[in-house]
Amino acid sequence: MKTNDIVLAHAKYKLSLRNFVENGSELQVPDEDLLFWLRDNKRSLSHLPAFQHLEKEHEAFCNYVSAVLTLVDAGQRSQARELIKSEMFVLLSEEIVSSIAVLERAAK
């Protein structure tokens, strides 16, 4: 899978999460394209600081999403909505996209 596809899959996941929180629509499996890509490329890229950084950023994003889903499960959709509309959510996501671009350049 190409890095552009990973970025697109991440964007689709965020949209799926927003729709899930807003209207209870079906949630796409958690950012699995990025997770699988990280796992599949770990052996060849793990020596790169950019890869290690991306793994950290992806973990932080997943932890944040977990907090959102916990609120939804507890019936606190309004608080979950606040989290996905927050600057932190945007920053975590932007950091993933930026890290993918840095990694792509470093891997060449």
Residue 20 has pLDDT above 90, yes or no: yes
Residue 30 has pLDDT above 80, yes or no: no
What is the Rg, in whole angstroms, of the alpha carbon atoms belonging to the chain? 14
Compute the distance between CA of residue 82 and CA of residue 84 in angstroms, rounded to an integer. 6
pTM of the full predicted structure? 0.88
Strand, coil or helix: what is 1?
coil
Compute the distance between CA of residue 45 and CA of residue 72 in angstroms, rounded to an integer. 36
Q: Where are the domains of the chain?
A: 3-106
- Tens digit of each residue's pLDDT (9 = 90 or more) over 89-106: 999 999 999 999 999 888
Name residues whose C-beta falls within 8 Å of residue 51's C-beta, 6 or more positions apart in sequence: 38, 41, 42, 45, 103, 106
Output phi, psi for 74, to 5 deg: -85, 5
- Tens digit of each residue's pLDDT (9 = 90 or more) over 61-93: 999 999 999 999 999 999 999 999 999 999 999
Residue 1 confidence class, pLDDT cut points 50, 70, 90: low
Average pLDDT, the chain: 90
Distance (Å) of CA 107 to CA 20, 27, 79, 82: 35, 32, 39, 37
